Structure 1
Amino acid sequence: MILKEKAPSNASCVRLAAGIKQEQDVAFYLRRAYRNSEKVMVLNDISIEHDGERAQIDHLIIYTYGFIIVESKSIRGQVIVNEEGEWIRSYNNKWSGMPSPIKQAELQLALLRQFLIANTYDVIGTFLGIQQGLGARCYDVFCAISSDSIIDRSRAPQEVASRLVKSEFVTDVLDKTMDFKKFYQVVGKVFDSRPGFNAKELMHISNFILRHQSGTAEATNLNPFNVPKSYSSVTPPPSTVNHDANTTVVSCKHCSDTTPLSAHSGRYGYYGKCGNCGGNTPLKKPCSTCNNKETEVKKRGNVFTLHCDSCYSVTRIAVK
């Protein structure tokens, strides 16, 4: 499932524009492979801050057994990785050294891991009922390089060479790393000791990371309990709604009275009864944030909330 797309952007610098295109290409392959998956969550172009450090991550994969960072690197020409894992590239027929994107991704992953472990209770808490912490999960990195580059990894250390992949093969190596056992591989499943997240836990963790991005709109717009319709059994408690959600008023469709309606449940869902004319009005309405019509009304205690399946916003409904 794609929870955050690569934001469109323009660049006047040729090299910067090439880097943006490379990230968009990798995001395209990830979208094609995992957009309908409930086991794989994809977050493109996110920023994490922890302990005074910041990591800008091109592509974060959160899956049943852990976390994978994919660093996109636009390289035109030839790349050589030597025995020490050092990178050399050709540009305009000139050779020069370059920082290792594998090492860069490893530093990003280390910060992400520290961030998650430091916030273990908030990330998984008692809400999810996970018995094992986040430290034992799988953590991996890969570097996706431009498809038209030439890579010489013949002398590179195996742990580096195995992490280099051209864009069009990125989902192949991800599938191999995630190693989901097919339903008929009973023996493999029995001996697979990796602790796993279920679908609701994956969504909860993904939303936690999105809400804590540095300097982005997601930090204020998302709620840790905002989950798609397929996970609608998760409903925010009243205290969470009061703190995180705005309030919307459903006016009577008969007399347009804006006095809060009295809430009721009927054959076609939740509705409000007008105290002025006595008419009934559905509480479901288009999302006030993105105007999406695919919304859902949920009730927890005496609190009614409107959930959007498009932007994942949650709005409290003013009712009596």
Structure 2
Amino acid sequence: MIVKELEPQAYPNSFRRAGHEAERQMAHYLKRAFGDDRYKFVLNNLRVEREGEVAQLDHLVVHRHGLIVVESKSVAGQISVNEQGEWTRWWKGQGRGMASPILQARRQLDLLVRLLSDHTEELLDRGVFGLRQRRFDTMRRDVLVAISDGGRITRKGTLAEVVKADQVPDRVREIVGAAGGFGAFAFSDAELTRLTAFLRTRHQPLAAPTAATDDISGVHGPQEESVPAVVSTPGLATPGQVRTAQERQSQACPTPDLGCRTCGSAELTVLYGKYGHYLKCRACGGNTPAKPICPTCGQPGRLHKAGREFTAQCSGGHSWPYFTNPSDT
């Protein structure tokens, strides 16, 4: 399922355009493979911030057992990787060292996991009969580096993280297939719904690209050192912030796709108990915590009841419809 599409960009620089084309190619392969898969969620060009640090992820795949970051690299020539994991890019017969995109992707993923861990109680249910809080640090985390179809790779030894772009969907399926088993970490349906909504609302788009010159290296893609800074005046929102706020306000806030964490059924009733509101499954009798996440700002919300209608409201002042109880309750 595609949670966040890749936004079209008009880069004035040919090398930046090549990098964006590699991301567009990868987004196409992921959409073809997982567009109708309700247990694999794809977010393209996700940019999140935590305590002044930024993680820019070309593609993120959220699956039942964890996260996979896919780093897209446009290669006009050849890349070689030696036994020590050192990368060299070749252009017109000349080699030049480059930073490892595997390590780059891992750093982005580590920052993302720290952000999610800050919101553990909002996003994850309690396990072991509600006595222990589940944590993100036990989930599976993987990275893949996708080399564009026209590029060539020379590698020494096994380097499972580096694949051609068209091979990524199969590698994703292999990773997910190997991640299961007895005792393995697994998101519930409700947790997947909250997590993907949280990530979508946490996206902080960058300002429009400039005509800054890129290094002519034969390998193109998002370079951290070439990202233009967004300068803001204290007390004033940047144009990008204003535009993002307007877009969020203009979007309808849909009722979340809720399901029983035990059997996945949507036959639910909202009830109030010792620990607050929860969802009672009419199919299996199981209980699921009601933890609404604001689709506008990503903050947790509180439920308010009016007859059979339940509305959620966050501390930021946003309200959205959450659930309507069946008429026989």
Which residue in the other structure is 1:146 paired with? 148
Which residue in the other structure is 1:227 paired with? 256
Which letter maps to 1:114?
A: R
Matching of residue 170 in structure 1 with residue 168 in structure 2? yes
Matching of residue 133 in structure 1 with residue 138 in structure 2? no
Which letter maps to 2:256?
A: V
Matching of residue 197 in structure 1 with residue 187 in structure 2? yes
Distance in 2 (CA, whole Å) between partners of 1:177 and 1:68 is: 9
Kept in 2: contact 1:146–1:167 (CA 8 A):
yes
SS in 1 for 2:137: coil
Q: Deviations over 1:199-256 (max 9, x none)?
A: 222121011112222347389568998534888668998xx99x878xxxxxxxxxxx
Instruction: For 1:260-275, list aligned pairs within 5 A.
Output: none
Which letter maps to 1:82?
A: N
Structure 1's unaligned 5+ residue stretches are 182-188, 246-298, 307-312
TM-aligned CA deviation for residue 110 of structure 1:
0.8
Label 1:200 to 1:244 Cα distance change in 2 as closer, same or farther (>3 A).
closer
- Out of 285, 303, 306, the residue aligned to residue 301 of structure 1 is 306
SS in 2 for 1:74: strand
Kept in 2: contact 1:9–1:20 (CA 8 A):
yes
Distance in 2 (CA, whole Å) between partners of 1:85 and 1:52 is: 30
* TM-score normalised according to structure 2 size: 0.64
Distance in 2 (CA, whole Å) between partners of 1:234 and 1:220 is: 29
TM-aligned CA deviation for residue 104 of structure 1:
0.5
TM-aligned CA deviation for residue 97 of structure 1:
1.3
Which residue in the other structure is 1:213 paired with? 203
Distance in 2 (CA, whole Å) between partners of 1:235 and 1:4 is: 30
Which letter maps to 2:109?
A: L
Which letter maps to 1:67?
A: L
Kept in 1: contact 2:125–2:191 (CA 8 A):
no
Which letter maps to 2:106?
A: E
Which letter maps to 2:73?
A: K
TM-aligned CA deviation for residue 12 of structure 1:
2.0
Which residue in the other structure is 2:237 paired with? none
Which residue in the other structure is 1:33 paired with? 33
Distance in 1 (CA, whole Å) between partners of 2:61 and 2:103 is: 18
Which residue in the other structure is 2:90 paired with? 90
Distance in 2 (CA, whole Å) between partners of 1:2 and 1:193 is: 28
Kept in 2: contact 1:225–1:235 (CA 8 A):
no
Which letter maps to 2:175?
A: T
Label 1:314 to 1:28 Cα distance change in 2 as closer, same or farther (>3 A).
farther
Instruction: For 1:39-54, list aligned pairs within 5 A.
Output: 39-54=39-54
Which letter maps to 2:141?
A: Y
Q: Deviations over 1:260-318 (max 9, x none)?
A: xxxxxxxxxxxxxxxxxxxxxxxxxxxxxxxxxxxxxxx95347589xxxxxx9856xx
SS in 2 for 1:135: helix
TM-aligned CA deviation for residue 84 of structure 1:
1.6
Which residue in the other structure is 1:264 paired with? none
* TM-score normalised according to structure 1 size: 0.66
Kept in 1: contact 2:126–2:134 (CA 8 A):
no
Which residue in the other structure is 1:81 paired with? 81
Distance in 1 (CA, whole Å) between partners of 2:169 and 2:77 is: 23
Kept in 2: contact 1:223–1:244 (CA 8 A):
no
Label 1:226 to 1:84 Cα distance change in 2 as closer, same or farther (>3 A).
farther
Distance in 2 (CA, whole Å) between partners of 1:117 and 1:193 is: 21
Distance in 2 (CA, whole Å) between partners of 1:204 and 1:118 is: 14
The alignment yields a C-alpha RMSD, in angstroms, of 3.8
List structure 1 segments (4+ residues) > 6 angstroms apart after TM superposition. Answer: 222-225, 229-237
Aligned length: 245
Distance in 1 (CA, whole Å) between partners of 2:295 and 2:44 is: 24
Bigger mean CA deviation after superposition, 130-139 or 164-173: 130-139
Label 1:228 to 1:196 Cα distance change in 2 as closer, same or farther (>3 A).
same
Kept in 2: contact 1:105–1:141 (CA 8 A):
yes
Higher relative contact order (CA closer than 8 Å, sequence separation 6+): 2
Larger radius of gyration: 1
TM-aligned CA deviation for residue 124 of structure 1:
1.9
TM-aligned CA deviation for residue 33 of structure 1:
1.0
